[in-house]
Structure 1
Amino acid sequence: MVKQVQENFERRFEKRAPSKLNLHLWEKKAFQTGSVMDTKHSGRPRTRDVAIENLHQSVLRSLKKSLHKRSAELGISPATLHRVLKDDLYLKAYKPTVVSELSDADHVNRMTACDRLLQTLISYPIDQR
């Protein structure tokens, strides 16, 4: 009986048939569950799948929030949050930095400082350098 099933399988799907053991396991599973498909596995649920939409809404509300603050707010680990941002939402986490703007007065002050430093170095004895 198993040989006939294997031959039919190979003819229909044009590939090697499953072993006798696998056919028996499929039969047992089909009678128990009504399907040969794998059942849902128990274990810890994936937070990443649930977090994508919440994270997307959070980012739209506030672009400047840090990764760690957003992580605490949403109850997601920073590593998961970073992975979702990068892989699913195609965003990059960045750390905002404060940058001083240079004005025209700053240019004059820098030139003055450079001139003073140059004069100091020129008048400094060579043997003490």
Structure 2
Amino acid sequence: MFMKIHEVKEKCYLETLEESITNVEMVINHLEKLALREGEFASHILRKDRIISILHLELALASYCVLLRKMRENQMIIYNDKLRADINSIIHSNRFEYFGSYIIVHSQKGKEEVDLHSLLRYGKSILKENEA
């Protein structure tokens, strides 16, 4: 039996969402491991690795947020205004600071705080709802 185009598209988006969440979590785990290694290595080595990891996190989150926006535009999901604001902040940011459970996004609008764990929980809830 052939799947309808909409079903194929939704399956593709959900698979990509899972990969995107995993990617973000891998970068966060790396940042947490770096924090635990402070004092073990020269500070300049850890500092450079942390900067690179934060840039990877910025890109991973931007991809994740673009995917969420795309899913909303294709009427696969609905999210509230707070989540919409966080998603837009990340997509339009020119840099951000990582503080573990939250990030501060810098954009033309100024500084905005984004609850990182809440953002990831939302994506995981989508996957959980669509488990079959």
Q: TM-score range by the shorter chain?
A: under 0.3
Kindly indicate whether structure 1 or structure 2 has the higher relative contact order, using CA contacts under 8 Å at least 6 residues apart: 2
If the length of structure 2 is used for normalisation, what is the TM-score? 0.25
Look at both structures and tell me which one has the larger radius of gyration over its CA atoms. Answer: 1
If the length of structure 1 is used for normalisation, what is the TM-score? 0.26
Richer in strand (by share): 2
